[in-house]
Structure 1
Amino acid sequence: MRKTRRAEEAAEFEAFAHSRGQRLFRTALLLCGDWHLAEDLTQVTLAKLFAAWPKVRRAENQDAYARSALVRSYLSHRRLRRTGERPSLGELPEGVAPGDDPALRITLLTALAELTPRDRAVLVLRYWEDRSVAETAAELGLNQGAVRAQSLRALGRLRAVLGPDAAEHLARS
């Protein structure tokens, strides 16, 4: 009986990982800007979710739980590697989604890479992932006021990095 239950849980997790893996990877890529690190972060996150699967499967919003785990893994990785090498955006993913402006995407990814990990996490969750202030606050473990303030400061830093064409870039995104 116990083996059957474990097999069912493993099958449930496998279906979850298969259905959410690409979205987690995309979010990880936006957070870190490095294809290989994004793959690693996705794997680490899925491993953590598997280890906690009984708790995750009972969660009200499994997607939010997974995103929170991913963002925490990313921030933890950045803290642990603070003095390590910084990834270069010299190589970008092979494909571009239809209808996207590749030049704008490269410009924004390059600008995001120059922000701090916390600023980058707030901007990716709020604007790229289109999360509400409350959702972003919950995923980052902050209060809503802190998310609003950090969003404003991070957007200001992003505008400074983008330079005089910032309004044009941000309006097109």
Structure 2
Amino acid sequence: MPHTPSDSTEEPDLTFTRFVAARWRALTHTAYLLTGDFHEAEDLVQTTLAKIYPRWRRLRMDTVEQYVRRALINTNRSRYRRRRVALFLQPVLPDTRPADEDGPGTGEHDVLAPALRQLPERQRAVVVLRYCEDLSVEEVAEILGCSVGTVKSQASRALAKLRTHPDLAHHSVRLGDPR
């Protein structure tokens, strides 16, 4: 279990540092699946942790993981909205294709991340939390601040889109049943 703020009498800075060290890789992995880009993922995690740090002393041990995930999702949502507006204001949209489209992906997530980018933001968050982070429907609903039914319907729609995605048809990426 990761070290959390209220499980010791240590200084908050030390507990925050330990939490970040223990959870950095997992948080960056989740952020990568949300953004589809490693550098944006690192920026997203850093921005999220910077927002969380001033509140660190007040976080409860039993809710810190959920709080951080929710903050990561919300920070990504804000980043996505700002980026979408900036893209609309550009006269020519940037080329978002990978530099080497002819080479095969090196792993399951190399194929999954671009497919996830094609989903609406909420569906992407549901898929990442539910199937990549392996959270229950109830936990995802709590993190996203919505009903269990909304999580199930968003997951169902997202999985239907992903199952027809041409890049995923050629790979063995397994996606679960949304129920």
Alignment of 1:120 onto 2:128 = no
What is the distance in 2 between the residues matched to 1:108 and 1:35? 13
User: Within 5 A, what are the aligned runs for 1:10-159?
Assistant: 10-56=13-59, 58-85=60-87, 88=96, 90=98, 102=106, 104-159=108-163
Q: Sequence identity of aligned pairs in percent?
A: 38
Task: Spell out, residue by residue over 1:107-149, the C-alpha distance to the aligned partner (whole angstroms, 9 max, x if none).
Answer: 3222112111111111111111111001111111111110001
TM-score calculated relative to the size of structure 2: 0.77
Task: Spell out, residue by residue over 1:148-170, the C-alpha distance to the aligned partner (whole angstroms, 9 max, x if none).
Answer: 0110011111123237937x644
What's the secondary structure of 1:63's corresponding residue? helix
* RMSD of aligned alpha carbons: 2.7
Structure number with the higher helix fraction is 1
How many residues align structurally?
157
Whether contact under 8 Å (2:32, 2:113) holds in the other structure is no
What is the distance in 2 between the residues matched to 1:89 and 1:51? 38
Partner of 1:98: none
Q: Tell me, which stretches of 5 or more residues in structure 2 are unaligned? A: 1-9, 88-93
State which drifts further: 82-91 or 123-132: 82-91
Q: Tell me, which stretches of 5 or more residues in structure 1 are unaligned? A: 1-6, 93-100
TM-score calculated relative to the size of structure 1: 0.79
- Aligned with residue 162 of structure 1, among 163, 166, 169: 166
What is the distance in 2 between the residues matched to 1:87 and 1:138? 36
